[in-house]
A and B are shown apart, each in its own frame.
Chain A
Amino acid sequence: MPGFDTLPAAWMVWDGPAPAPKGAVLEQTRQLDKFLAEIERRAFRMAQVALRDPDDALDVVQDAMLKLARNYGKRPSAEWRPLFYRILENGIRDLQRRRSVRKRFMAWLPGPKEDPDAETQDLVESVADSAPAAPEQLMQEQALAKLESSLRELPARQREAFMLRNFEGLDVAETATAMGCSEGSVKTHYSRAVHTLREQLGEVW
């Protein structure tokens, strides 16, 4: 542990870096605000693609923001992006696991079965406004719907690799940190994701 290994009365004396002055803390908070403001919408959309439910996506993003601010807010800002997405992906996986358990549990119960996807609205509906859609816009919406549908059919790790690399723009090392795997695995997942998507979307695109 830095700072505690040089003096005999180590538990009484802290010889590490001095506490940050108030101005530095304010500056750090400002940087964190800027960082979160920059990524929050993309993070929300990525969570929404994975979870299909806007409320769940918002909960996961909010939880990731809180955890990053509480646990890693003092870390260098260059580390925030992969850390944030690692927290976010863990949250998405946890929620999907809970859903799976709940679905299995509900299958044992008598009576009408709950369909967790029944109340989820179409993602295109949540994105589009109420203005009448032009033919070009309609085609865009259809393409987006097809893309999201294809992304959901990918294995989770391939989807994570594709969205983090292509949508968020993380490099291979950052993606590996965010996914908690090696850089080689990231390249493999990404390559397979692109291959599968190309097969599925080839007819539309």
Chain B
Amino acid sequence: MSEESLAPSRLEERSRALFLESVDGLDMATRSRLTQARHAALAAHAARRPWILRTPVLTSALGMSAAAVLGVTLWFGGPPGSHGSMPADNQSTFEDLDLVASSDEGSGDAMEMLQDDLDFYAWADKAANPEPAA
């Protein structure tokens, strides 16, 4: 190891002393601007966002994920009349299926109801168009 790395030489001491004197002799305008710069840096430090929001890729990924979740939610849980289906719709759908299934059975009750309906329609037609007197 050289001697100059063990103890500072005269050149090192003198140059350091001159440099520090020049630092002490900085004018007030420069000092003021440095103070303003420091305050700006501290304000940026105080307003520092979480690391996950400071990464552009992660921010984009988070935004796209949120949009996807919102889209899926609206698609499957949207208002009646849209592609979505509410619980009430499910119930009425099942009731309709029951009616269709029961009518397909060809039971006696269903046939009687159909006959009653035919009689009713025939009576209504006669009432609306009475036959002229001979």
Residues of B within 8 A of A29 (CB): 42, 45-46
Interface residues of B in 14-42 (CB under 8 A from A): 14-16, 18-23, 25-27, 30-31, 33-35, 37-38, 40-42
Is B11 interfacial (CB-CB < 8 Å)? yes
* Closest-CB distance, B35 to chain A (whole angstroms): 8
Is B12 interfacial (CB-CB < 8 Å)? yes
Interface residues of A in 70-94 (CB under 8 A from B): 70, 73-74
Is A102 interfacial (CB-CB < 8 Å)? no
Please report the C-alpha to C-alpha distance between residue A68 and residue B45 in the assembled complex, in whole angstroms.
9
Is B44 interfacial (CB-CB < 8 Å)? yes
Interface residues of A in 84-129 (CB under 8 A from B): 123, 126-129
Q: Range of interface residues on chain A?
A: 35 or more
Given A66-B41, A66-B44, A194-B12, A144-B18 contact (CB < 8 Å): yes
Is B37 in contact with A65, judged by CB distance below 8 angstroms?
A: yes
Is B33 in contact with A147, judged by CB distance below 8 angstroms?
A: no
Is B41 in contact with A62, judged by CB distance below 8 angstroms?
A: yes
Query: Which listed residue (A32, A129, A194, A197) contacts B25, Cβ 8 A?
Result: A129
Please report the C-alpha to C-alpha distance between residue A29 and residue B43 in the assembled complex, in whole angstroms.
9
| Nearest CB in chain A to that of B22: its residue | A127
Is A170 interfacial (CB-CB < 8 Å)? no
Is A69 interfacial (CB-CB < 8 Å)? yes
Is A15 interfacial (CB-CB < 8 Å)? no
Query: Which listed residue (B11, B23, B37) contacts A197, Cβ 8 A?
Result: B11
Residues of A within 8 A of B4 (CB): 191, 194
Is A157 interfacial (CB-CB < 8 Å)? no
How many CB-defined contacts (below 8 Å) exist between A and B? 108
| Nearest CB in chain A to that of B10: its residue | A205
Please report the C-alpha to C-alpha distance between residue A123 and residue B26 in the assembled complex, in whole angstroms.
10
Residues of B within 8 A of A44 (CB): 26, 30, 34
* Closest-CB distance, B49 to chain A (whole angstroms): 9
Is A182 interfacial (CB-CB < 8 Å)? no
Is B15 in contact with A54, judged by CB distance below 8 angstroms?
A: no
Is B126 interfacial (CB-CB < 8 Å)? no
Please report the C-alpha to C-alpha distance between residue A42 and residue B31 in the assembled complex, in whole angstroms.
11
Given A41-B26, A66-B44, A70-B44, A166-B15 contact (CB < 8 Å): yes
Please report the C-alpha to C-alpha distance between residue A40 and residue B125 in the assembled complex, in whole angstroms.
104
Residues of A within 8 A of B14 (CB): 143, 205
Is B2 interfacial (CB-CB < 8 Å)? yes
Is A45 in contact with B23, judged by CB distance below 8 angstroms?
A: yes
* Closest-CB distance, A40 to chain B (whole angstroms): 5
The 7 closest A-B pairs by CB, nearest first: A65-B41, A69-B45, A62-B37, A69-B41, A73-B45, A40-B34, A36-B38
Apart from the given pairs A41-B31, A129-B27, A197-B15, 7 other A-B contacts in the complex at a CB distance below 8 Å: A32-B42, A37-B35, A58-B37, A62-B41, A66-B41, A197-B11, A198-B9
